[in-house]
């Protein structure tokens, strides 16, 4: 199975398997991994992302299908008894994985994902239109222009952040464009609507840590309502909000995210 797999830390330590969000790659977790050096960290490029295979059928990008695909990757590496960490779409997949393969998962850590139904934010048609506009606008005339744009979003920069950013794009005919195809992006969104996490939350048996972002402010009511319902449905869940963070919570505050993860894992 062709995919890019990334590992950090000592294989003798407790394993964390990290699942990235839509459009991301496993290499996006490089900086966070540096704050988790007491663990064995594994991250993959999920299907249609980075160096992984792309599927031809939309249904293959649905959460339950990607969970099966992820299980194949994990099985190939002889990994068992691990904590599963997911950001955004990766959090959605993590919940489906935990439902389907509960015997393998020691606990789930959700990085600002899996708790707000997309239907609470906008309709599927609107999201698909937004993806088309996004793809039309995300193009850069050079690598230098792309990196400058990425740097402008953060108050710091590092080799790990640059490697993660570059892994999400590719050069085509002299332009820097998104590496994930528009077909894949649309299929992922359709899958999120077709298989919402709300349908399976009562079946999640694994201890769960949900880390919430705090920005933008206009999402506050939606975040509170979503997390409240999540708590009511999941049997064993801890919820924490990390101040001054956007949806890219582990990029905005890697130290804080890592500290919460370590303390919670020590307990469970």
Q: What secondary structure, in 3-state letters, does the chain show?
A: CCCCEEEECCCCCCEEEEECCCCCCHHHHHHHHHCCCCCEEEEECCCCCCCCCCCCCHHHHCHHHHHHHHHHHHHHCCCCCEEEEEECHHHHHHHHHHHHCHHHEEEEEEECCCCCCHHHCCCHHHHHHHHHHHHHHCEECCHHHHHHHHHHCCCCCCHHHHHHHHCCEEEECCEEEECCCHHHHHHHHHHHHHCCHHHCHHHCCCCEEEEECCCCHHHHHHHHHHHHHHHHHCCCEEEEECCCCCCCHHHHCHHHHHHHHHHHHHHC
Q: What percent of the chain has pLDDT over 90?
A: 94
pLDDT band at residue 1 under the 50/70/90 scheme: very low
Q: Does residue 120 carry a pLDDT above 80?
A: no
Inter-residue long-range contacts of 21-24, CB under 8 Å, 24+ positions, other chains counted: 21/87, 21/88, 21/89, 21/90, 21/113, 22/49, 22/88, 22/89, 22/180, 22/185, 22/188, 22/189, 23/49, 23/168, 23/178, 23/180, 23/185, 24/49, 24/87, 24/88, 24/90, 24/164, 24/168
For residues 6 and 224, what is the distance between their CA atoms, to the nearest angstrom?
34
Q: Is the whole-model pTM more than 0.85? A: yes
pLDDT band at 117 (very low <50, low <70, confident <90, very high): confident
Mean pLDDT, range 136-153, rounded to an integer: 96
Answer whether 42's CB lies under 8 Å from 3's CB. Answer: no
- Does the pLDDT of residue 2 top 70, yes or no? no
CATH number of 5-267: 3.40.50.1820
pLDDT per residue over 52-95, tens digit each?
999 999 999 999 999 999 999 999 999 989 999 999 999 999 99
Q: Indicate the average pLDDT of the chain.
A: 96
Q: Which long-range contacts (CB under 8 A, 24 or more apart) does 151-159 make?
A: 154/251, 158/31
Token representation of residue 14 = 């407790």
pLDDT tens profile 191-218: 999 999 999 999 999 999 999 999 999 9
Please, which pLDDT band fits residue 44 given cuts at 50, 70 and 90? very high
pLDDT at 119: 77
Per-residue pLDDT tens digits for 163-182: 999 999 999 999 999 999 99
């Amino acid at each position: 199975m062709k995919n890019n797999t990334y590992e950090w830390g000592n294989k003798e330590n407790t394993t964390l398997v990290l699942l990235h969000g839509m459009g991301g790659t496993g290499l996006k977790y490089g900086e966070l991994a540096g704050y988790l050096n007491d663990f064995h960290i594994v991250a993959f490029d999920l299907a249609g992302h980075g160096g992984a295979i792309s599927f031809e059928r939309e249904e293959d990008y649905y959460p339950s299908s990607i969970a099966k695909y992820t299980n194949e990757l994990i099985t190939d590496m002889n990994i068992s008894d691990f904590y599963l960490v997911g950001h955004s779409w990766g959090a959605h997949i993590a919940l489906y994985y935990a439902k389907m393969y509960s015997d393998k998962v020691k606990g789930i850590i959700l990085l600002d994902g899996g708790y707000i139904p997309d239907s609470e934010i906008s309709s599927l048609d609107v999201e698909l239109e937004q993806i088309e506009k996004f793809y039309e606008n995300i193009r850069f005339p050079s690598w230098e222009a792309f990196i400058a744009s990425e740097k402008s979003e953060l108050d710091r920069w590092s080799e790990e952040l640059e490697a993660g950013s570059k892994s999400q794009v590719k050069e085509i005919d002299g332009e820097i464009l998104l590496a994930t195809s528009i077909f894949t992006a649309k299929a992922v969104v359709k899958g999120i609507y077709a298989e919402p996490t709300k349908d399976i939350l009562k079946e999640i048996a694994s201890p769960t840590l949900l880390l919430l972002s705090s920005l933008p402010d206009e999402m506050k009511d939606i975040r509170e309502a979503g997390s409240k319902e999540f708590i009511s449905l999941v049997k064993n869940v801890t919820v924490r909000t990390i101040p001054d963070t956007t949806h890219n919570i582990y990029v905005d505050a890697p130290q804080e995210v890592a500290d919460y993860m370590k303390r919670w894992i020590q307990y469970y």
